[in-house]
Amino acid sequence: MADTSTGPTSAEPGASGEKLPGIRHVIAVASGKGGVGKSTVSVNLALALRQRGARVGLVDADILGPSIPGMLGIPTGQPPAMTPGGQALPVERYGIGTMSMAMLTDDDSPAVLRGPMVSKYLKMFIGATQWGPLDFLLLDLPPGTGDIQLTLAQSVPLSGAVIVTTPQDVSLKIARRGLRMFERVHVPILGVIENMSGFTCGHCGETTDVFRRGGGERMSQQLQVPFLGAIPLDAEIVTGGDEGCPIVIARPESIAARAYGALAAQLEEQLDNARGGVLKPFAWRWDSNEGAPGWVASAARPAGNRVRPVGLRRHDLRTLAVLWEDGREDRFDVRDLRLACRCALCIEEMSGRKLLDPKSVRADVTPRVLASVGNYAIGIDWNDEHNSGLYSFDHLRSLGERSGALVAEDV
């Protein structure tokens, strides 16, 4: 187990910005419990990142219950080749390299290892493997958020973690536990993925909500972390996994494969955001305008990020103006923003039903303080004593686009 007081910690990138030599981002894929599809997400996300042109490696960090080789059609019990220097060569499949305990044992002899050995193997898979230059090294963590996961999160310099949940698994308690675990070791949460969200019919391609949708999204709202996207419940995802040819490869045009592609894009964007935009963290007093974040019009460009603000200012006392990096400007009436709050007090967690009665919100409701939350949202403390809401830039942008569309229709 690494000692975070002396070893490299996740909070301290090297001078080059790379936390492991030659590897731009090491990302843990975690879940509060087993069976939510975490390994399936890891595999398909890795392949979707590859399809977007990234160089990707995948470590099956579930040393005691490895499942990645099966999903990629890699035979078990066949150890990887070694370099003359004693480094393992990752096994290549579909353009990504992978390392797993299943290569060292076979399915019938489950590894019985004690904690320190688990950590030793993991370090070998990451540090004593010749990955070559990579954009992403994904770690499929064992399910749960116990000691093993904590040790793993500590022993590897992570860029961040993504948490996989299912819509029924809106159990905030479980997700929160995972979150706290990463927070303890200063690992940023890059976002939440909702898996098995709605059912996609294999014949007509239509998606039906088997479970309630949006649990993951609401969860990320409440836990104040980004929402990366939803993957539908799809029998072909299971077939792909069972047959060793993941759906992203087997059916790249399917809805599920495209959902993994969107996820990969979101993850890249999140990492991009995490590098910091032009706006620095702020706590902005609306009345006095003290601490205003700024307006950097020169940073806007057509190819810019659509959910990264490069300017926030008071257009007038009732209007917040946002300049996005792609050059679009949105103006929000502050009371409309108060009404659009999506916190648990304003929206029912399970059903998504609106709880906030617009009539109960005073006409002169005004922000007291707007504060940045990570690089993805602002929190607003309102003068009606409401302050639990969080406005992700994603949410703000879609609010802006929706009201923009209304204006266009009016003319």
What are the residues binding ligand ADP (CB under 6 A)?
31, 34-40, 67, 143, 195-196, 231, 233-234, 237-238, 241
Q: Which is nearer to ligand ADP, 104 or 237 (CB)?
A: 237
How many helices (H) and strands (E) the chain has is answered by: 11, 17
Q: Which residue has the tokens 């590894």?
A: 111
Q: Which is nearer to ligand ADP, 88 or 153 (CB)?
A: 153
Q: How far is the CB of 303 from ligand ADP (least distance, A)?
A: 32
Q: Which is nearer to ligand ADP, 39 or 375 (CB)?
A: 39
Q: How far is the CB of 29 from ligand ADP (least distance, A)?
A: 9
Radius of gyration (C-alpha) of the chain in whole angstroms: 22
Q: How far is the CB of 74 from ligand ADP (least distance, A)?
A: 15
Q: How far is the CB of 18 from ligand ADP (least distance, A)?
A: 28
The structure tokens listed for 230 are 């939803």
Q: Which is nearer to ligand ADP, 69 or 157 (CB)?
A: 69
- The answer to whether 107 and 76 are in contact (CB under 8 A) is yes
- The answer to whether 215 and 168 are in contact (CB under 8 A) is yes
Q: How far is the CB of 67 from ligand ADP (least distance, A)?
A: 5
Q: How far is the CB of 31 from ligand ADP (least distance, A)?
A: 5
Please list, in sequence order, all residues whose beta carbon lies within 8 angstroms of the beta carbon of residue 320, skipping any fewer than 6 positions away: 312, 313, 314, 331, 332, 334, 337, 367, 370
Closest-by-Cβ residue to ligand ADP is 37
Q: Which amino acid is at 290?
A: E
Q: How far is the CB of 280 from ligand ADP (least distance, A)?
A: 38
The structure tokens listed for 146 are 């116990």
Q: How far is the CB of 379 from ligand ADP (least distance, A)?
A: 31
Q: Which amino acid is at 329?
A: E
- The answer to whether 207 and 232 are in contact (CB under 8 A) is yes
Q: Which residue has the tokens 């609010």?
A: 399
Q: Which is nearer to ligand ADP, 229 or 367 (CB)?
A: 229
- DSSP reduced 3-state for 117: helix
Q: Which is nearer to ligand ADP, 39 or 129 (CB)?
A: 39
Euclidean distance between CA atoms 165 and 154, whole angstroms: 22
- The answer to whether 82 and 88 are in contact (CB under 8 A) is yes
Q: Which is nearer to ligand ADP, 178 or 241 (CB)?
A: 241
Q: Which is nearer to ligand ADP, 67 or 159 (CB)?
A: 67
Please list, in sequence order, all residues whose beta carbon lies within 8 angstroms of the beta carbon of residue 47, skipping any fewer than 6 positions away: 56, 94, 95, 96, 246, 248, 249, 260
- The answer to whether 142 and 60 are in contact (CB under 8 A) is no
Q: How far is the CB of 312 from ligand ADP (least distance, A)?
A: 37
Q: Which is nearer to ligand ADP, 237 or 271 (CB)?
A: 237
Please list, in sequence order, all residues whose beta carbon lies within 8 angstroms of the beta carbon of residue 188, skipping any fewer than 6 positions away: 10, 159, 160, 161, 182, 274, 374
